[in-house]
Structure 1
């Protein structure tokens, strides 16, 4: 994960994260791993990652979102963000933000561009230490999560969806930890 994040940080596309920073935030990370099986055996390679950082009781940030170039255009970034949004809902956050150089990516996922000062917990917790603080070129994006009503209790067994059964049993090239 560290190498993947640093690859984009070296291109000035995201902020660098040290291995120690990633280890401290490890419970908040999702990782996509490509599994290959060949004549020499099985292999695994990290091809994507992202984390969800709590900024306030009701606000979290998508952070360190990185997808290996070999996976660009395959929907992996959107899948990672979707899983991070699921995690945000499960943890009770009402809003999720991101600071990005790719605002159109986040717009396609339902985020809206906002003034960076409107997400003040982010600005005052981390941005003030950033070397780009006074000349920041990132766009602040914000998504308000839907309120989820409690699911009704179903007493009878639900019928299995045939498509879902096939999808579950299909071979998977990417898994999340």
Structure 2
């Protein structure tokens, strides 16, 4: 069974690669390798029994008591084993440990996050996210992602 753990320096290039693969179908925003390194402490990874990185998820602090789950990716051959859910749950636990009060996500897989306890919300409550990241997204302003939030 794959284990979920905090990312380490040796994982940065693997994280970058699996995110890069997933940006092709516009499921996650691209992250340059230097961004992965500078935000490495945000990441959890799923590691297979043979030591291969097969998933990642980041918890990014956005603003006062607000954090975002982002860059959630599980490689196709490892899907269906609840790795994504386990990484999100690890991120939520870390948010609680940090004293975060709300965690949000922008997603096109609402049912996945709904099962984890997130609820759809208004994008207007996320002004820091819109201007920090969304403004540079190729899909802005015609984004099809749904904002969801969890109160901790």
What TM-score do the two structures reach when normalised by structure 1? Answer: 0.75
What TM-score do the two structures reach when normalised by structure 2? Answer: 0.87
Give the SS at the match of 1:136: coil
Write out the 4+ residue segments of structure 1 that deviate beyond 3 Å after TM superposition: none
Partner of 2:47: 33
Task: Summarize deviations over 1:123-150 as a string: whole Å, max 9, x none.
Answer: 12211122211110111110001xxxxx
Deviates further, 5-14 or 119-128:
119-128
Give the SS at the match of 2:81: coil
1:35 is displaced (CA, Å) by 2.2
Q: Distance in 2 between matches of 1:74 and 1:24?
A: 29
Partner of 2:102: 95
Partner of 2:93: 86
Q: Distance in 1 between matches of 2:93 and 2:86?
A: 11
Q: Distance in 2 between matches of 1:25 and 1:73?
A: 27
In structure 2, runs of 5+ residues without a counterpart are: 1-14
In structure 1, runs of 5+ residues without a counterpart are: 37-43, 146-177
Q: Distance in 1 between matches of 2:30 and 2:132?
A: 16
Paired residue total: 138
Q: Distance in 1 between matches of 2:31 and 2:73?
A: 12
Partner of 2:53: 46
